[in-house]
Amino acid sequence: MSDGRDPIAASASAASGGTVAALPVTPGTPVKPGPQVKPDSPVQPATLPGEARLPMEFSGGFLLLDKPVGVSSFQALRPLKRLFPKTKIGHAGTLDPAASGLLLVGIGVGTRLLEYLEGMTKTYRCEAIFGLASDSYDMEGEVRALDGDAAVAAENLNTETVAQALSPFRGRIRQTPPAYSAIKVNGVRAYALARAGESVALESREVEILSLEMTSFFPVRAGEPARAGLEMTCSKGTYVRSLVHDLGQALGCGAVTDKIRRLAIGTFRVEDAATPAPEAPWEALLPLDQAVRHLPRAVLTAEQVPIFLHGQAVPAKLEAIPDAASSATASTATGAEYRACDADGRLLAIATLNAQGWICPKKVLVRP
């Protein structure tokens, strides 16, 4: 789960199966499936300027999306729903409307693999503003300037003080999510309860901060509060706003978060992302296996493929991932997950290993 308040949303429809072709699309123009016409027919469908047709074999893929400030994660998907009509679309991880950065979007069959992206580490950049407090832990809530000892502490901050205070927040820590978060309390989102004026008490949780660095620091000057730029890589379930709030408490001056931007999810980086309305969405699509490239591979022969796709376990060639970016190995433990591929490398399914060392289909992604 990422630092967000809104639920992950997806359109409700289905997709058909196959490959992806590159077609230019004008932002905001609905994409319509072309009529089915025989290749030798004297009457062929015209393609209007700015119009594209979905390949009949399309099954889906993944898109790296750079969400802008001011829209929810759900709203950021709307242009894509027009570009990929009647196709299921969802995303892994939610960003606040006030935050920007990387969203991993599953399109068509790609939505079935989003769960494998949820647990990846996430990298954020943000700004901590000291001497302030907010009910939402960021600048979007009711913000107030602190006085007394907290104001004095904020005025005395320097680079060394803040850098030293960051140390206890690295590694495995416990933090309490903000009341304004998407966590459900008795089936209701916490932010909905908080907005209704109800008291929200959330339990603390263990998260892991793999790295946490200060990238800049500006002391109090000309009536402006002290602030620090932070960059962190953290586990699923970490709230950036809670970390900054807790940092302010540790410094005795309070702090709120501003300008949250997600830079990466696992090895996917925002530099490679498209805008919410890409001009050529087909060209930006990543193949399905990108979501599970951290899993070792099981290769099936042409004879095994139809047997496997009909639900039967088969022996297979088990491989570790060859690229250096992954540390995955070919586990022989019962229940170990594999990406099952044919001899051409096409992803067929997610599979598990049984006690006999054969692979069993767990989530079939193509039609038998």
**3-class DSSP assignment, residue 75:** helix
Q: Which of 349, 293, 272, 291 is nearest to 62 (CA)?
A: 291
Domain ranges of the chain: 1-36+47-120+268-288, 122-265, 293-364
> Per-residue confidence at 290, pLDDT binned at 50, 70, 90?
confident
Question: Is the pLDDT score of 25 beyond 60?
Answer: no
Which CATH code fits 293-364? 2.30.130.10
Alpha helices in 199-303 (DSSP H): 240-251, 281-284
Pairwise CA distance, residues 73 & 126, whole Å = 18
Q: Which of 70, 21, 5, 111 is nearest to 276 (CA)?
A: 70
Q: Give me the chain's average pLDDT, please.
A: 82
Residue 8: pLDDT over 90: no
Which stretch of DSSP H or E encloses residue 118? helix 115-118
Coil, helix or strand at residue 255: strand
- Band of the pLDDT at 324, cuts 50, 70, 90? very low
Q: What is the pLDDT of residue 21?
A: 30
| d(C-alpha 147, C-alpha 163), whole Å | 23
The rounded distance, in Å, linking the Cα atoms of 240 and 254 is 15
Q: What is the mean pLDDT of residues 56-64?
A: 75
- Which residues is 132 bridged to in the sheet? 145
Of residues 21 and 98, more confidence is placed in 98
Percent of the chain past pLDDT 90, that is, above it, reads 60
pLDDT tens digit sequence for 109-143: 999 999 999 889 999 999 999 999 999 999 999 99
Locate 358 and state its tokens: 């054969």
Whether residue 10 has pLDDT greater than 70: no
- DSSP character string of 20-50: -------TTPPP-PPP---TT-S------TT
Which segments within the chain are labelled E, that is strand?
60-67, 89-92, 100-108, 122-130, 132-134, 143-145, 171-175, 184-185, 188-189, 205-218, 227-234, 255-265, 268-269, 297-299, 317-319, 337-341, 347-353, 359-364
Res. 321: pLDDT tops 70: no
Residues 6+ apart with CB under 8 A from 331: 296, 353
Q: What is the Cα–Cα distance from 277 to 64, expressed in whole angstroms?
A: 12
Q: How big is the chain by its Cα radius of gyration, in Å?
A: 24
**pTM attached to this predicted model:** 0.79
58 pLDDT higher than 90: no
Contact 169, 212 (CB under 8 A): yes
pLDDT digits (tens, 9 = 90+) for 207-253: 999 999 999 999 999 889 999 999 999 999 999 999 999 999 999 99
Residues annotated as part of the active site: 96
Q: Is 60 or 262 the better-scoring residue by pLDDT?
A: 262
Pick the CATH number of 122-265 from 3.40.33.10, 3.40.1280.10, 3.40.1350.10, 3.30.2350.10: 3.30.2350.10
Residues in the chain, overall count: 368
Structure confidence at residue 173 (pLDDT): 97
Asked if residues 135 and 245 have their Cβ atoms less than 8 Å apart, the reply is: no
Tell whether the model's pLDDT for residue 319 goes beyond 60.
Answer: yes
What pLDDT shows up at residue 5?
Answer: 46
83 — phi, psi (to 5°)? -75, -25
Local confidence band at 105 (pLDDT 50, 70, 90 cut-offs): very high
* pLDDT attached to residue 201: 87
Q: What is the pLDDT of residue 285?
A: 85
SS3 sequence of 314-344: ECCEEECCCCCCCCCCCCCCCCCEEEEECCC
Phi, psi of 45 (to 5 degrees): -65, 140
CA dihedral over 41, 42, 46, 47, signed as positive or negative: positive
- Each residue's pLDDT tens digit, 144-194: 999 999 999 999 999 999 999 999 999 999 999 999 888 888 888 998 998
Tokens of 322: 């060859």
Token code pair at residue 288: 């399905």
**Exposure of 20 in the CB half-sphere (CA atoms within 13 A):** 23
* Helices 240-251/159-166 angle, 10° precision: 120
* Type of residue numbered 311: G
